[in-house]
Structure 1
């Protein structure tokens, strides 16, 4: 998932917009990204759906709990480290790069673990007063960017640092260098990493200037100094500038992401007394929703307007845009729905009630083909009664809503006897032997309790989960 925005507020931002994109293609044709010509295809022209579903079921059929890592090391912290860095804390973010798993705890401690040796390599906090707020893997130069705040600065400004993965593998997290040192990223300033377009957007609240940098070499490309800009939304090839609301509506500008040139300026009419729930941009489609009003989907090329009843489309807590499939996901009260840009709900998910109703997007993963969603969900009623607080990890098909596989604790045996999705009852898998032979201290039911972060490594076909105790669990076949 891309489009990570980190604010300089005292607490991490929640409910942020996340973009799911397989890869970047093409450039701008007029104000419209020419990639849309490639994207406008029927879902049925993708690879055979039955084969895709069968393949997914096979990939996850025998997935099991294989390893356990711990981010908490009471003996490993410096005596001068901040007190709260020494306390056990829940995992809020997991990132995998090659054979390294990075786990960030809410306290601000970040640890790197090797999947080859199954050992902790190092902590990424390079100073005793550093609190890491977020991670971003930059595949353009195989490096990890950390966004931190510091006690010496009263935790008021974001500081970015990039470190090559190779240095981290050698246990040298201090071999990196600082980024965007010229920018004052104090609240409400922010930095946003856009992997889709290969750009970084920063906002300096001190002088009300937005700057766009190249994600490959971190050179500044251009800046936007219009003080009327209230918000910027990024899509493939373009940026939407939302300006200060006027008596007649909200002025909008569409800019080229490459050079900042204005491709189109227009104004969208609004109800004067209603607050705006959201304004979102998806290529040529503009989504506008006001309080207790219908959803409006505007085609900015020809001003064609589609409305969806407010009783049918209620304001979600988060979006995920699927650029490969020309669809978008909405999250509301723990449920997920898939919509097209004709305002039609195209998918409802079976057995897919998210454990965290606020939809922290670190608890879900969309595959690069945008055909699967992996989520931490509430178990069936009967299972939850026997498994305590254990949820399940569900792998579902986005286009059909069907649950293809599920990692869950057994509802008929001891939790450490069997956890394979085939529910073999312990007869066909050596799960008990695996647990005894490994360093895993948690039972499967315990590993499925209070999961606070989730990541799927598509290359290794492994799921990594983190919980409130600061433990990382590896699920693999």
Structure 2
């Protein structure tokens, strides 16, 4: 769902800008079991419209529970704090594998087909995984980690294939000679070391030439298929291709304050000058300069944010109106500061030409004329600070799935069960919800540690698998729960 920036800072940034990704391509060429073929043929994903989304989610029940904690010490870690039970902060699912990252830095992989834990993704005893990214271009998991041997000062990236490709697909797309056949057999022998086979150490390092120490960072942008890195040591930004990780070009300018990624372009924000801020727009494909301009600012007032979406530039200063500038026509419009207050995070919906704002547990949808499009009913977020790991936008950008306060709660109280709400982004209508009253498990509750009510308490991460039509949640105890119909 997102373009993600992972900083080398020991403290995550408070504000986040997230892109809702393009639709993930179906992996029909790689299916290799009957169950996957059957699910592909009868999948509800293509035929469910917004009008009957309620039917898709209304029978969601608690069906499985996994534990990301390793009480028996099978995880290859040596640092004492990695052995502690901590909350789940991130969930990623792909190819029927669910990855759950705990705040301690331990990441566990679970197989949904066999309903069991496969392995821990950590490959070094002193590795602390900071974040996960699924690269749909090659079905691989990218882990971003820090290491005790490096005093946790520098980010290291690693790519590991989730599973081997279907040999029947390769045979159907290649003219196989005997020599090629032997090569393929060797290739598949090596494939047994992928994550599905319980061998996460088969991955390879990425961006080894880059010094990603604080304030350096790496940002993965799925919409454009690019990776942006910043080496603070030499003040150089580099853009890589997400398909093969080759470097495309670099940007070396010590006056660049920040770079924002938008579909097709990069926005370079330079250090603020007196009364204005210099800006430059580059083509994200080759770094060609498309436009250079200055935007006037109110003196002595801090800039709350500068965001770019296609040709629209959004600028907000403290206690000032929101400015929306069309960089092509230079047309400027303003939205009153009492109508548009600075949000804690954005989600841009590029297909709908809209954007979501998050502020004080509420979500709103705006267009680029500065008009409020949607206010959500019964969608008060549980967490006061916007955590996009608790929010999922479907690939068609029609639904938002969030962890919310239960409707009956008069005020937020820690320890109470919340609800998982599914709402229509364009209308704000709540289409379905999973709460303690309608989320009873399909299986004997004795097989699980948690009751439904307990599973809905303190949810710290949420992910929706559109292929399987399953919702995965993680909580403060390090438990992962599967909700399915």
Fold shared per TM-score above 0.5 = yes
Residue in 2 aligned with 1:187? 214
Residue in 2 aligned with 1:11? 11
Give the structure-1-normalised TM-score.
0.88
Structure 2 residues without counterparts, runs of 5 or longer? 26-47, 164-193
Q: Distance in 1 between matches of 2:411 and 2:54?
A: 24
Deviation at 1:23, TM superposition (A): 4.7
Q: Distance in 2 between matches of 1:374 and 1:280?
A: 24
Q: Distance in 1 between matches of 2:85 and 2:158?
A: 25
Residue in 1 aligned with 2:444? 435
Residue in 1 aligned with 2:36? none
Deviation at 1:389, TM superposition (A): 1.0
User: Pick from 458, 473, 476: which aligns with 1:465?
Assistant: 473
Residue in 1 aligned with 2:283? 256
Q: Where do residues 52-451 of structure 1 align in structure 2 (5 Å cutoff)?
A: 52-77=49-74, 81-166=78-163, 167-381=194-408, 389-410=416-437, 419-420=438-439, 431=440, 434-436=443-445, 439-451=447-459
Q: Distance in 2 between matches of 1:384 and 1:257?
A: 46
Q: Distance in 1 between matches of 2:393 and 2:113?
A: 25
Give the structure-2-normalised TM-score.
0.87
Structure 1 residues without counterparts, runs of 5 or longer? 26-50, 411-418, 421-430
Deviation at 1:388, TM superposition (A): 5.3
Q: Distance in 2 between matches of 1:70 and 1:23?
A: 30
SS of corresponding position for 1:54 = helix
Q: Tell me the number of residue pairs that the alignment of Structure 1 and Structure 2 aligns.
A: 433
SS of corresponding position for 2:444 = helix
Q: Distance in 2 between matches of 1:54 and 1:291?
A: 41
SS of corresponding position for 1:287 = strand
Distance change >3 Å, CA 228–CA 121, structure 1 → 2: same
Q: Distance in 1 between matches of 2:223 and 2:444?
A: 40
Distance change >3 Å, CA 117–CA 244, structure 1 → 2: same
Mapped contact 1:348–1:401 kept (Cα < 8 A): yes
Q: Distance in 2 between matches of 1:23 and 1:382?
A: 36
Q: Distance in 2 between matches of 1:399 and 1:120?
A: 38
Distance change >3 Å, CA 157–CA 312, structure 1 → 2: same
Deviation at 1:381, TM superposition (A): 2.9
Distance change >3 Å, CA 455–CA 197, structure 1 → 2: same
Q: Distance in 2 between matches of 1:146 and 1:386?
A: 35
Residue in 1 aligned with 2:20? 20
Q: Distance in 1 between matches of 2:287 and 2:104?
A: 38
SS of corresponding position for 2:63 = strand
Q: Distance in 1 between matches of 2:145 and 2:76?
A: 20
Distance change >3 Å, CA 305–CA 152, structure 1 → 2: same
Distance change >3 Å, CA 175–CA 265, structure 1 → 2: same
